[in-house]
Amino acid sequence: MTIIEAIVLGLVQGLTEFIPVSSTAHLLIVPSILGWGDPGAAVSAVIQFGTLLAAIIYFFRDIVRLIAGFFRGLITRRPLADVDSREAWLVVIGTIPIVVLGLLFKKHIESTFRGLWIVTTMVIVVAILMQIAEWYAKRRTLRTFDEMTVADGVAIGLGQCLALIPGSSRSGSTIMPAIFRGIDRPTAARYSFLLSIPAVGGAGVLELFKERHALGALGWTPIAVAIIVAFISGYASIWFLIRYLRSHTTHVFIYYRYALGIAMIAMLMTGYLKG
């Protein structure tokens, strides 16, 4: 992997990880268009360390507060007794489904699910689900983080499992069920970002350990460059999305996904992309 490839992949990862348009889809499409080929699930997972670091730094105060709340709830045996403890336990609850299914379907995630026809299908399917969620949200009074329940955490955690299929988008797969549950959009985005920390961190560590020799053959310098670029662009993406969703719906991302899906179908049917 050259430095140019590393910069491009890091930029693509950072700009698309937190915005609900699917970073994995873009990490498959952009290299294919440029003639580089699929960077592989291991490279994609390790580059995510950049966006993971961006989320940790951006939400550092929240993380410290939630860790304290988690242990306070554990010690008192009242995990839902106060806001901080409840939010911390909601992150834990929301993370469990993707950990279980991620381990069960690991081989398929790294191979079968990465076919471009599958990616294209999920780009469009999740766009449709997001649009239905937005229609549904118009009829409801939306709630904030302080009003989230255990049922909300379970529903959003199950939604996050869609992200195991490339093209779904982890943020899209969590924001969409949150809106279905009547959670307001900034809260949905914030919860999505907090859920990304254990999910992305766990996947990155596992892939780093398993593929350390293969990654070393690619060169640790370009991988480090990709992580740094992903961190900078990922931090900017978090800042942008949280502010954007305070006064806007997710429709712009829905329409982008439709356009992306149509473009991918055209490229696959003409042979420009190989499914």
Q: In angstroms, rounded to a whole number, what is the distance separating the alpha carbons of residues 184 and 178? A: 8
Tokens of 205: 């560590």
Tokens of 49: 């360390």
Q: In angstroms, rounded to a whole number, what is the distance separating the alpha carbons of residues 139 and 187? A: 18
Tokens of 156: 């959003």
CA distances from 75 to 67, 68, 78, 149, 221 (A): 12, 11, 8, 21, 44
Other CB atoms within 10 Å distance of the CB of residue 138: 7
What is the pLDDT at residue 198? 86
Tokens of 177: 């069920």
What is the pLDDT at residue 93? 92
Question: Average pLDDT for consecutive 10-residue bins of the chain (275 residues)?
Answer: 88 92 85 76 76 92 91 85 86 90 74 78 95 90 86 92 88 93 92 87 72 67 90 95 93 96 92 75
